[in-house]
């Protein structure tokens, strides 16, 4: 059991809203069509899905507090990511998960990937944002709920091994956390995303689509 994870390790922080609104403006809005259905797995406080502009927005988390934090119009489903039975087959265009797979065993990830494959519509994509162990190994296990280790090499290989075609890998997409002395502002985040070099970049972005079943 992870205990009161949200009260200890992942307390609410308004800087996350600044981060995700900036990420939507500078990155994700160019990849998600207004008519899309978007599914956010392990949505937590809903920071990503609340920032999304789309026809349908769905947030999934096993944490009951999710429902209190999502914006009006966002569907909150309290369930493990291995059970997406509340989401219709082939109904989702974009599945996103931030800092999720490192909290799951590989067996659980495989089950989750099967459910993600089922709910994705033709042409749909899965995008994962999470710590890159290659660059975050010193801090990786400061989070006591981390149980799996992935880098920008191993995560794409894991996806390919389970029937996914990897379209994009960004080894240093973002710094590891908003919990730092550095200011969190939309212009700075936009400049960071545009920069050719990523100092302190310890989170990777991996995008994939369903390929041939393994």
**pLDDT tens, position by position, 115-143:** 999 999 999 999 999 999 999 999 888 88
Distance CA 210, CA 165 (A): 6
Q: How confident is the model at residue 214 (pLDDT cuts 50, 70, 90)?
A: low
3-state secondary structure of 160: helix
Place of tokens 């797979």: 101
Domain coverage including residue 180: 5-210
Distance CA 201, CA 131 (A): 9
* Rounded mean pLDDT, 77-102: 97
- CA nearest neighbour of 69 among 37, 100, 95, 44: 44
Give, in degrees to the nearest 5, the angle at Cα 157 between 97 and 46.
Answer: 5
Distance CA 135, CA 85 (A): 36
CB 120, CB 92: distance < 8 Å? yes
Say if residue 93's pLDDT is above 80: yes
Task: Specify the pLDDT at position 198.
Answer: 85
Question: φ and ψ at 78, to 5 degrees?
Answer: -90, 105
Cα Rg, the chain, nearest whole Å? 16
Joined tokens for residue 32: 């998600």
**pLDDT tens, position by position, 136-155:** 999 888 888 899 999 999 99
Say if residue 110's pLDDT is above 60: yes
CB 113, CB 164: distance < 8 Å? yes
Long-range contacts of 107-115 (CB under 8 A, 24+ apart): 108/81, 108/82, 109/148, 109/158, 110/162, 111/82, 112/41, 112/81, 112/82, 113/159, 113/162, 113/164, 115/81, 115/82, 115/83, 115/84
Distance CA 185, CA 183 (A): 6
**CATH number reported for the structural domain that contains residue 20 in this entry:** 3.40.50.150
Q: What global pTM score does this model have?
A: 0.90
Distance CA 1, CA 143 (A): 14
Give, in degrees to the nearest 5, the angle at Cα 53 between 50 and 55.
Answer: 110
Place of tokens 């909150």: 76
Domain count, the chain: 1
Q: How does the average pLDDT of the chain come out, rounded?
A: 90
């Amino acid at each position: 059991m992870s205990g009161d994870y949200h009260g200890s390790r992942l307390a609410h922080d308004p800087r996350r809203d600044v981060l995700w609104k900036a990420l939507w403006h500078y990155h994700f809005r160019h990849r998600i069509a207004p008519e899309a259905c978007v599914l956010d797995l392990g949505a937590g406080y809903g920071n990503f899905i609340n920032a999304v502009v789309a026809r349908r927005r769905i947030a999934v988390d096993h944490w009951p507090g999710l429902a209190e934090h999502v914006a009006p119009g966002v569907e909150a489903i309290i369930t493990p990511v291995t059970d997406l039975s509340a989401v219709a087959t082939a109904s989702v265009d974009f599945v996103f998960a931030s800092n999720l797979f490192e909290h799951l065993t590989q067996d659980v990830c495989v089950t989750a990937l099967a459910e993600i494959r089922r709910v994705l519509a033709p042409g749909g994509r899965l995008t994962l944002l999470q710590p890159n162990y290659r660059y975050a190994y010193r801090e990786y296990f400061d989070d006591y709920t981390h149980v799996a280790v992935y880098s920008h090499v191993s995560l794409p290989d894991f996806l390919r091994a389970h029937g996914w075609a990897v379209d994009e890998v960004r080894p240093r997409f973002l710094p590891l956390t908003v919990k730092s002395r550095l200011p969190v502002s939309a212009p700075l985040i936009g400049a960071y995303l545009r920069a050719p070099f990523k100092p302190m970049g310890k989170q990777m972005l991996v995008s994939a689509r369903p390929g041939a079943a393994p």
